[in-house]
Amino acid sequence: MDQMTPCFNYHDCENCPIRERGVCARCDDRELVPLNEIKYYRSYEAGQTMVWSGDAMDFVGSVVTGIATLTQTLGDGRRQMVGLLLPSDFVGHPGRACAAYDVTATTDIVMCCVRKKPFEDMMLQTPHLLQRLLEITLDELDASREWMLLLGRKTAREKIASLISIIARRDASAHAAGSGGVTIALPLSREAMADYLGLTLETVSRQISALKHDQVIVIERKRRITIPDMDRLLEEAGDDTDGGMPVREGDPKLVPRSSARQ
């Protein structure tokens, strides 16, 4: 339902930037041939909504370059981002006719698409495709469950620290800064971060300021930060596998109760 402006030509999959990680990663050269024939590229501009939740969705696709988000919306407009799509991530639900989320381009983006029916047919004949899609989906599921822990139980400060550390971990372009630190570009506006973290934009801004004040992060430009001490940041994120003394089992009285978010 949008434009279709292929902005560059990967005519063959050989040189595709996501060859190693996409749904096609396990396919051998022979299997790539039919895929090559039915795929097509689609590009969208930053800010554009690629798919509306509830609309018919007749294709599936992979992000080749750029970043997109999956969001869900409540009747009254409250929004929650439920996924962040980076290059090689897959969009679409084989076997389902309608989109379950809004998909929005955060940056200019290029997708490698296949119409749903041919994709489903091909999947039935190509175990390598099926296997890889299962792997990807299982990883997504783990990631979204980790996010549930963040949304349900972390404080605003921990949420921000977690988001930054996740971006730092996934951002291939993150490169070491001067004194052993790491510099990253935030691909999201404060509002998008708020939608991701289940916070308001103001709280996001305040917590970023607080982390800056406490020198956990250094603000280069609004969308560019450096992390002088990654361990410190991970500590702030709260999910270091064990805060210090190794507890578990033992006297249940020592185990604090859940919650603590408010």
Partner DNA sequence: GGCTCACTTTGATCTGTGTCAAGGCCTGTT
Partner DNA sequence: AACAGGCCTTGACACAGATCAAAGTGAGCC
Among 11, 175, 221, 257, binds a copy of itself (CB under 8 A): 257
Nearer to a copy of itself by Cβ, of 14 and 120: the residue is: 120
Question: How far apart (Å, rounded) are the C-alpha atoms in residues 117 and 98?
Answer: 13
Question: Shortest Cβ distance from residue 89 to DNA (Å)?
Answer: 23
Tell me the residue length of the chain.
262
Question: How far apart (Å, rounded) are the C-alpha atoms in residues 241 and 238?
Answer: 9
* Region of 2-10, 87-95, 103-111, 224-232 interacting with a copy of itself (CB under 8 A): 87-95
DSSP-derived letter for residue 98 is B
Question: How far apart (Å, rounded) are the C-alpha atoms in residues 155 and 153?
Answer: 7
Mask for 127-166, x = binds DNA (CB under 7 A): ----------------------------xxx---------
Residues 225/177, Cβ–Cβ less than 8 Å: no
Helix pair 190-197, 201-213: axis angle to 10 deg? 100
Among 34, 94, 187, 228, binds a copy of itself (CB under 8 A): 94
* Region of 16-24, 109-117, 216-224, 233-241 interacting with DNA (CB under 7 A): 216-224
# binding residues, a copy of itself (CB under 8 A) = 60
Among positions 222-251, residues that touch DNA (CB under 7 A) are 222-223
Distance, CA of 37 to chain centre: 28
Among 97, 98, 144, 219, binds a copy of itself (CB under 8 A): 144
Torsion from C-alpha of 9, 14, 18, 21, nearest 10 degrees: 160
Per-residue b/e over 120-145, b at no fewer than 16 CB within 10 Å?
eebbeebebbbebbeebeeeeeeeee
Single-letter amino acid, residue 207: Q
Among 36, 48, 65, 80, binds a copy of itself (CB under 8 A): 80
Nearer to DNA by Cβ, of 137 and 209: the residue is: 209
Among positions 150-209, residues that touch a copy of itself (CB under 8 A) are 151-154, 191, 194-195, 197-200
Q: Does 105 bind DNA (CB under 7 A)?
A: no
Nearer to DNA by Cβ, of 80 and 131: the residue is: 80
| Residue 8: φ, ψ to 5° | -160, 165
Nearer to a copy of itself by Cβ, of 12 and 144: the residue is: 144
Single-letter amino acid, residue 245: M
Question: Shortest Cβ distance from residue 190 to a copy of itself (Å)?
Answer: 12
The number of CA neighbours under 13 Å toward the Cβ of 95 is 2
Nearest to 216 by CA among 205, 232, 203, 204: 232
Question: Shortest Cβ distance from residue 183 to a copy of itself (Å)?
Answer: 28
Question: Shortest Cβ distance from residue 79 to a copy of itself (Å)?
Answer: 4
Query: Which parts of this chain interact with DNA (CB under 7 A)?
Result: 155-157, 189-191, 198-206, 208-209, 219, 221-223, 257, 259-262
